[in-house]
Amino acid sequence: MSHGAVESEGLVALLAGQLSPDLIHRAASQLGENDERTRSAVSAGIPSVLATLSDVAGSPAGANRLSSIINRVEVGSEGATAGARLGSAAGREEGVVLFDAEAGGRARPIADAVARSSGVTLDSAHQLLGGLTAAALVTMRQSYGQLAPERLQSMLGQQRAEFVRRLPDPLASVFEGGRAPAVRTTAERVDAGPAIRELPVARRSRGGALPIAILASIFLIGLWVLRGVHRPRGTALPVAGRPVATLTHPALQPGMPRPAAPSADTLANFLAGPGRTPARFTLEPLNFELGSALPTQESMRTIDQLARTLSEFPGTTIRLESYTDNLGGEANNLQLSEARSKAVKDLLVQRGVAPSRIGTQGLGRANPLDTNDTTTGRARNRRTEIVVTSR
């Protein structure tokens, strides 16, 4: 398709044209929704996602970031389609990381408005928005080829009014106020690098589905940087040998020390002392949004502090073990937990920790720390633990 054809047809129509009734039915069945509600959510989600991407591309750094993502998308294979992104559980989960990273503080209000306008659940709306975000980037890559940042910024900017015009009433208010960037959730945000560096081709899972390969570098120098005040580099570490509090954990391996108190300073204390490895640390908060590989806002501070601690002890290697609550299918929870470990790893790498020092593992709903019968308990069970493997 030529460049002019892309712009004359419009991105809303281009993306909608990739999503067949059969695909909508498949997504609806996987999410436990009916076709009509899912179709309505997709109809509301398409302009919402495109307006969000337009706001991100409104800044040069955002345009560079999105251009880099789009230009890395591989096309021509079965998994490298918009439909593969929306029509598989793993495709939607990975898209959620994209959507949350780029929408920032508006991710929840957008998902809530889509849910209210269509009748799907909030979680279903969130999943569909993720799938549509990934599908939109694939569609632009397939339709336009390599896309320079300036051209992407111009194309999305010219069509933003059309995106907003197509929004249902509950969503229009979310995008009022012109082109305010969607991800400016903190004054300390730095637009120095890509939130996500790749949107790779999907790979087949053990069950035969077509989940996308985990994003090689999921996100995020730009989205969450240096949130909160942490122990500055060079400050004295806690005194080695201080008694370490323990937490009960049902999955300790033979000979592995009990988990330490939930603090990155406790991890630093251990690394500065004579303790043996492997050793497990359950840092809090280090949790995730429901159904997402996006850490909670409070957890970003823990990740910042963990990165600083690992930088201060460059000989340390760790394994990240992530868990889910008990909602959803076992296979999906296992995939989601793997995505969470890799998401935390990529955040640490973005903060300067060598990737070779970090292993990852997803353990799904195993080994809950708290009850899954309450919202608070489930949130605590959606976590990543740090296992120090060498020092």
pLDDT tens, residue by residue, 78-104? 456 777 778 888 778 878 888 888 888
Distance of CA 352 to the CA centre of its chain: 19
Q: What is the pLDDT of residue 87?
A: 83
CB 359 within 8 A of CB 317: yes
- pLDDT (tens digit per residue) in 24-67: 898 999 999 999 999 999 999 999 999 999 999 988 888 888 88
**What residues contact residue 9 under an 8 Å CB cut-off, 6+ apart?**
none
What's the CA gap between 241 and 300, in Å, rounded?
28
- pLDDT (tens digit per residue) in 217-260: 333 333 333 233 233 333 222 323 322 222 233 333 434 443 44
According to DSSP, the β-strands at 358-362 and 384-390 are: unpaired
Q: What is the mean pLDDT of residues 197-218?
A: 38
Domain presence at residue 248: no
Domain presence at residue 356: yes
Q: Which of 152, 169, 186 is the last residue of a domain?
A: 169
Residue 154 and residue 277 share a domain: no
What token pair was written down for 152?
């992407």
Q: What is the pLDDT of residue 175?
A: 78
Q: Is the dihedral of CA 146, 152, 156, 159 positive or negative?
A: negative
Query: Average pLDDT over the chain, rounded to whole?
Result: 74
What's the CA gap between 120 and 146, in Å, rounded?
35
Range of the domain at 94: 3-169
| pLDDT confidence tier of residue 75, bands split at 50, 70 and 90 | low
Residue 269 and residue 135 share a domain: no
Residue 291 and residue 155 share a domain: no
Q: What is the pLDDT of residue 204?
A: 36
What's the CA gap between 351 and 57, in Å, rounded?
24
Instruction: Count up the domains in the chain and report the number.
Output: 2
DSSP characters over 193-235:
S-S----PPB---TTS--PBPPPTT---TTTS-S-S--PPTTS
What is the pTM assigned to this prediction? 0.48
CA distances from 373 to 99, 295, 376, 379 (A): 28, 21, 9, 11
State the helix-helix crossing angle for 21-31 and 35-56, rounded to 10 degrees. 100
Q: What is the pLDDT of residue 233?
A: 31
Helix, coil or strand: residue 279: strand
| pLDDT confidence tier of residue 105, bands split at 50, 70 and 90 | confident
Residue 140 and residue 269 share a domain: no
Q: What is the pLDDT of residue 196?
A: 33
Query: C-alpha angle 237/239/245, rounded to 5°?
Result: 105
CB 339 within 8 A of CB 290: no
Strands (E) located in the chain: 279-281, 317-322, 358-362, 384-390
What's the CA gap between 350 and 196, in Å, rounded?
10
DSSP 8-state secondary structure symbol assigned to residue 71 = H
- pLDDT (tens digit per residue) in 135-149: 888 888 888 888 899
CATH (domain of 350): 3.30.1330.60
Q: Which of 169, 189, 222 is the last residue of a domain?
A: 169
Q: Is the dihedral of CA 113, 223, 213, 143 positive or negative?
A: positive
Above 60 in pLDDT, residue 70?
yes
Q: Which of 169, 200, 231 is the last residue of a domain?
A: 169
Domain presence at residue 355: yes
Q: What is the mean pLDDT of residues 278-300?
A: 82
- pLDDT (tens digit per residue) in 354-378: 999 999 999 999 989 889 888 888 8
Above 80 in pLDDT, residue 194?
no
Q: What is the mean pLDDT of residues 11-23?
A: 86
Q: What is the pLDDT of residue 76?
A: 54
Domain presence at residue 254: no
Q: What is the pLDDT of residue 292?
A: 76
Least confident of 11-15, 173-177, 194-198, 291-295: 194-198
Closest C-alpha to 324, from 336, 311, 308: 336
